[in-house]
Structure 1
């Protein structure tokens, strides 16, 4: 059940006020989402800023609701910290990542002791709120590698300065919130004069527009008064970047957006910032206390992920290719995209480099329909082919496809059962052909690919190939145990013999992170020796992938 906002007592900041603020902000972003998407021209005209802000706020609101519905006391500190953490783990895109850091700044003040010098009076709610908005703006600026004025950073800074002025005049929390909101609106109106890309398109900054909605929700939560509706003006007719304009970054910027959560020390993250800054642009790293959300635009997504691996433990890796959106013009949808669910960081990078939007699956953590729907929306296309990745994901994929169709996206789900089938389907993907023909060809390629997998038995059990003991290597073919062996290479050879017994032209090997290169070389030689007309290709599945996946086409 969504939280029903309740009027707050004047000049009071408590957990219920934060909960009301969150609920109202989510509702405001939901109403403005499509309009904000439509004016998104900087730093990349991929028309998803409104959606990214909404999804980030939704994750934050969900975490806040969960924190306030258990048995723990509903304190202000608990509320703001849960809210900020939810935004951090669910941040989407450049704007959502900055919003997450803004909420972290708020939590750093409202969630801790104000720390006044001995004998000094504690600040009232107005002073505390002003400090929180100031800290939020400072931390957001610090999180962005190269801050640019005319963006939501500018709007946040203007709001913070106005809040401090109102607080210095002994303003209440309501006064401070209203001053911040009014200043944000004024700053937003000035953004086209600060950023050439906005001026050419005849729009205000999309991220700043979303932040105004969030600050309007703050004032409403504290005052009980609803801000007047402010329509979002769309792009000026005929506005477009001129050829060769250095600000037209949607035409010349990096091809991929890479986002991941990272468990790492602050020292390792400092080194990571330098590495990623050299790889691309739009770098934003937010978080702290060992958990970070990393966002960057690069041409080499593999290098960006590898940098994260060297810094700590990256997960929830999302790689989005927005070359299609650039080719189809400012803010327009690509005609067709592929969303692939993959079990392994290496496979996610591989599919991302092939142009697919990826969803990484970790063992025991199958993505829900909401995560698949998010990936479909991130693909930003009129038509989407969804490679579901396994039988256990079919229900979630079907639900995501149904919701995407309600949003006006044509979606086809290809029921792959293994990552190697997804690779086969992606290899024949033809974005320039008809949608139906493309889906038929990809489905046929997936269906014609027999799949095998090697796994290690965790306990003694009965299988279709007999009784296995803990530690045995199991060779599965099309989902059933066909071979039980003692060593991975020998078991893989037995599986290959069975799979190639009925013919084949191409063997695909996907090696897990612990499998040495020598195993791949041995299996390639084995196939070449016994099946002269069969080619072999080998990939690294990366962390979270199975020890070995085999595909035979």
Structure 2
């Protein structure tokens, strides 16, 4: 047994948890019915914690670089527990995926903030309490029967165990008690949350936290912790035909579950808050949170709650990560940008303004458990983001400079099938695009590519790439100043009836004249007008097919 939570325990815990979450990933995905049945809780928990583990590894490497003599002799990492936990929290926050991932990241942040190198039993219990409080605070509308309930139960059991005094209680005993509390909360989650009872399932997020706590207890040397293996389905006979426990009064309007685990479908009508999930980061530079007004996490949480639900915010200065389910990604972007623009600092480097980064949008509605997109698309037109996501891509919105970070691309690719194609302009990267990228110079090229994908049935990643490449090559695009711009004449030259002409315009463009000019010069052409949602006078025109 380890009497303290030291670096050795933390290191072992992090590595084992990545493996353990990977082992239950598919099971938790299949059991995901709350807050929406989109089949990704296990994936989100794994990817979130795995990004945290990568930061821990990076922290270890940094320590080795500073102490070269240790590396030369093959010694273990020299970073202390506080350094490793801070790295874990930072990585989880940056890599948080989905509602469950954001909550787990905030739980980890609270745990890290409450622990110091060599924390004893009382310190461990207090840290678990702080972790539970942080997780609750990060959610706009906490719900019982979820990972939050398991976190609270774990903290209470840990405090009770630690209260017996350090003379008789060691850290492994406290962590074993916390694990038992989380296990009990998970076991009754179907009773706390009616939608779980209807499906005959227990909460996937609570199950995930049990796995995280189990590996922490095992790493500390807690006896018998490794034999804890919760199940997501409710044992036969524990739910009656009305969706409740035997002997309990029936719940009005409830019917027994008929969908097997793994076949749950998230259709438009049962996706609370809308069909899209939006993840984004609010960055305030190096300013201390104490000097930034209004308080960024609360301001972002409130703004997101006004345009969607399943809201969660994780992080601390200088970066917060937000999550929301919404019917309007463009409304989310506007609300979050409003928060960023309103932030001011007494003496920090904000200059009166924060900024958004790492914005990712994906569609929830219509997805089937286990089904993942095969395309990541960079789209700079806010009003098109929803349609691009609806067409089957994970969407990244570039920053004000038109760039997307390598980490954001990697995280988006993690949401997809193996070997996804990344559609993006060459300018999205500081250097050469990655090998799996397909250059789509403008948003109209992205729209054309996904349109081509919608009218074909590629069976392999290679076929997907071929369809997208052909569609990108098949559209001619030019920026035009209006109906009398010679560039429009050049673009339309050779186009004939049957051509598809798309106009993508900013808010300060009077597009009617250009639309009429196209209809006059290419009789029989199909003209589609799309608003970019940007406050500018830019007008892009694209022509596909219909060559004379």
TM-score interval (norm. to shorter) = 0.7 to 0.9
Match of 2:476 in 1: 450
Q: What is residue 280 of structure 2 aligned with on the other side? A: 260
Residues 1:229 and 1:184: Cα distance change in structure 2 (over 3 Å): closer
1:92 aligns with 2:133: no
Q: Which residue of the partner structure matches residue 374 of structure 1?
A: 414
Which runs of no fewer than 5 residues in structure 1 stay unpaired? 1-8, 113-122, 378-382, 398-413, 455-487
How far the C-alpha of 1:497 sits from its partner, in A, is: 3.9
* Residue 213, structure 1, aligned to residue 201, structure 2: no
Instruction: Name the SS of the counterpart of 2:424 in structure 1.
Output: coil
Deviations 1:158-197 (A, max 9, x none): 1001111111112221221111112111221111111111
Residue of structure 2 aligned with 1:304, choices 328, 332, 338: 332
DSSP 3-state at the match of 1:323: coil
- Distance in 2 separating the partners of 1:69 and 1:83: 14
The answer to whether the 8 Å contact 1:493/1:523 transfers is: no
Aligned to 2:436: 396
SS at match of 1:314: strand
Does the 8 Å contact 1:339/1:375 carry over to 2?
no
Q: Secondary structure at the match of 2:226?
A: coil
User: 2:542 maps to which residue?
Assistant: 551
Q: Partners in 2 of 1:235 and 1:518 — Cα distance? A: 58
Which residue in 2 is equivalent to 1:472?
Answer: none
> What SS is found at the alignment partner of 1:517?
coil
For 2:346, the equivalent position in structure 1 comes to none
Q: Rate the CA distance shift 1:199–1:447 in 2: closer, same or farther, 3 A.
A: same
Q: Conserved in 1, the CA contact under 8 Å of 2:281 and 2:322? A: yes
Decide whether the 8 Å contact of 1:359 with 1:375 is kept in 2: no
SS of the aligned residue for 2:201 comes to coil
Q: CA deviation at 1:356?
A: 3.7
Instruction: Report if aligned partners of 1:101, 1:286 keep a CA contact under 8 Å in 2.
Output: yes
Q: 1:463 aligns to what?
A: none
> 1:502: Cα distance to partner?
3.6
Cα offset, 1:443, TM superposition? 6.1
How many Å separate the matches in 2 of 1:247 and 1:294?
A: 35
Cα distance in 2 for partners of 1:96, 1:46 equals: 14
**Deviation per residue, 1:472-498 (Å, 9 max, x gap):** xxxxxxxxxxxxxxxx849x9454443
Shift in alpha-carbon separation, 1:372–1:95, aligned structure 2, 3 A:
closer
CA distance in 1, matches of 2:531, 2:507: 12
**Following superposition of structure 1 onto structure 2, how do residues 29-40 of structure 1 map, counting pairs within 5 Å?**
29-40=21-32
Structure 2 residue aligned with 1:464: none
Distance 1:255 1:163 in 2: 39
Q: Residue 227 of structure 1 corresponds to which residue in structure 2?
A: 226
Whether contact under 8 Å (1:344, 1:541) holds in the other structure is no
- Determine the C-alpha separation between the residues in 1 that align with 2:253 and 2:534: 39
Q: State whether residues 39 and 235 of structure 1, in contact with CA within 8 Å, keep that contact through their aligned partners in structure 2.
A: no
Alpha-carbon distance in structure 2 between the residues aligned to 1:519 and 1:127: 67
Q: Distance in 2 between matches of 1:384 and 1:349?
A: 23
Instruction: Indicate which of 141, 145, 149 corresponds to 1:150.
Output: 145
Q: How many residues align?
A: 469
Determine whether 1:128 maps to 2:123: yes
How large is the RMSD of aligned CA atoms in angstroms?
Answer: 4.0
1:53 equivalenced with 2:90 (yes/no): no
Q: 1:64 to 1:493 in 2, by over 3 A?
A: farther
**1:227 alignment partner, SS class:** helix
Quick check: 1:196–1:247 contact (8 Å CA) kept in 2? no
2:136–2:142: 8 Å Cα contact kept in structure 1?
Answer: yes
1:211, distance to aligned residue in structure 2 (A): 0.3
- Residue 349 of structure 2 is aligned to residue 357 of structure 1: no
In the alignment, the residues of structure 2 paired with residue 185 and residue 36 of structure 1 have an alpha-carbon distance, to the nearest angstrom, of 15
Do structure 1's residue 421 and structure 2's residue 468 form an aligned pair?
A: no
Q: Could you tell me how far apart the structure 2 residues matched to 1:546 and 1:183 are? A: 59
Distance in 1, Cα, partners of 2:540 & 2:14: 44
Please, what TM-score do these two structures have when normalized by structure 1? 0.73
Which shifted more, 293-302 or 73-82?
Answer: 73-82
Distance in 2, Cα, partners of 1:85 & 1:546: 40
Residue 305 of structure 2 corresponds to 277
Partner of 2:375: 339
- Kept after mapping to 1: 8 A contact 2:93/2:314: yes
Deviations 1:402-453 (A, max 9, x none): xxxxxxxxxxxx875643222023345548x75569968766544321244x
1-side partners of 2:424 and 2:157: how far apart? 51
Between 280-289 and 206-215, the greater mean CA deviation after superposition: 280-289
The CA deviation string for residues 203-242 of structure 1, in whole angstroms up to 9 with x for no partner, is 2110011100100111111117660152634478999999
Whole-Å Cα distance in 1 between the matches of residues 60 and 538 of structure 2?
42
Q: Is the 8 A contact 2:44 2:97 kept in 1?
A: yes
Equivalent in the alignment of 2:199: 201
Structure 2: runs of 5+ lacking an equivalent = 67-77, 244-250, 258-264, 285-291, 341-354, 427-431
Match of 1:27 among 15, 19, 34: 19
